[in-house]
A and B are shown apart, each in its own frame.
Chain A
């Protein structure tokens, strides 16, 4: 079975579960993940949900969609997933306090995907909270990762067309990065 793991991260309320549900061909499965490092993580937050959905490309090939908490303190929960992941969709709700800093904070847990896979930032709820603008996110991401250029999109996780655009965009980035190292060599 060939599989392609795509992660969805972001703060609670950003729309991760909805986004996966919109894309998935199966009902989203929420998996309780037990804390194995209780000395590190406070007991009150020892179980957290992972969301799972999938898209079948053929009988033996699937795109697996995982919603993860994304914060550093929960890294242990999905370190294996992170190793297998090809890309990340970070969702941030624009009405969250200091949402731009929040996006940078969450992305800090995904350095490997920023530099070797693909990352897209989807800003949700821009219809009800138009500020900050997408430019504020771009500027903050450029300051934090000057050599990486990540797409920043306004997105409605309920909109299948928009979610498909985001997923295809992410896969295009991963494909381009993985398939044509000679292009980079040529264009230097």
Chain B
């Protein structure tokens, strides 16, 4: 891993601007992970820049967009479930330096996978449109991401079909909350293609074979997963 050159804190701080919390329909502000997710989603198209997320009593997350990396003082398994976010700052563009020397960055996809699951519990991410459907444009590297077997079924369905969260849940047999959480996460990671269109009938999607009928389910049981 290449060590990053340190930048004096005073000069580095001047490069960053505070990002205000997004609000939904001008109302409830995004808090916690949803606030972070809204910021990261809005910068998804950026190719370089640094995002600093200051958590209350949980340190700071430094995200390097160009390197697709992040730094945090703890282990990913120690991330808070419901953090309080004190401030989010950003500096976009080339030449912005990470303000500390950190030798062991994590992969940004791991952070997005975590945040995406928790940011909007039980509802679609605020940037998603109600009648849109989603198709997978890239598989996440699941050997590096904690996942459930039902995630595999849902991802496989999204490979060849554009589905709404409701359709995805119906086709996979997963809970709606699981389907919407996965779509939130994949879209935050930039791994979905959005198909805007007419509202779809709610439950007309045939389900996969019942859990005990499909090879997937039998193999999963055999492997103890």
Contacts and interface: CB of A to CB of B under 8 A. Distances in A.
A134 B208 CA distance: 30
A167 B171 CA distance: 21
Contacts of B139: 149-153, 169
Interface of B: 133, 135-139, 141-144, 147, 149, 152-153, 155-157, 159-163, 167, 171, 195, 200, 204-206, 208-209, 214-216, 218-220, 222-223, 225
Interface stretch (A12-20, A31-39, A104-112, A171-179): A171-179
A184 B143 contact: no
Contacts of A172: 152-153, 155-156, 216
Interface in A143-187: 149-156, 159, 162, 164-169, 171-177, 179-180, 182-184, 186-187
Contacts of A134: 141
Contacts of B218: 57-58, 61
A102 interface: no
A81 interface: no
Interface in A26-83: 55-58, 61, 63
Contacts of A56: 222
A55 B215 CA distance: 12
* Max chain B Cβ within 10 angstroms of own Cβ: one of A4, A57, A150, A156: A57
Nearest to B220: A168
Contacts of A176: 153, 156-157, 159-160, 208
B15 to A, nearest CB: 28
B206 A149 contact: no
Contacts of B152: 165, 168-169, 172
A168 B204 contact: no
Interface of A: 4, 55-58, 61, 63, 134, 138, 149-156, 159, 162, 164-169, 171-177, 179-180, 182-184, 186-187
Given A167-B223, A171-B216, 4 more contacts: A63-B219, A149-B159, A176-B160, A187-B161
Given A149-B136, A165-B143, A183 B205 contact: yes
A180 B171 contact: yes
30 contacts: A55-B222, A56-B222, A57-B219, A58-B218, A138-B138, A149-B159, A150-B139, A151-B139, A151-B142, A152-B141, A153-B139, A155-B143, A156-B143, A165-B147, A169-B142, A174-B215, A175-B156, A176-B153, A176-B159, A176-B208, A180-B205, A180-B206, A182-B205, A183-B157, A183-B163, A183-B205, A186-B200, A186-B205, A187-B161, A187-B163
Q: Across chains A and B, which 10 residue pairs bring their CB atoms closest together, nearest first?
A: A151-B139, A176-B156, A172-B156, A172-B152, A162-B143, A187-B161, A187-B162, A173-B156, A183-B161, A171-B216
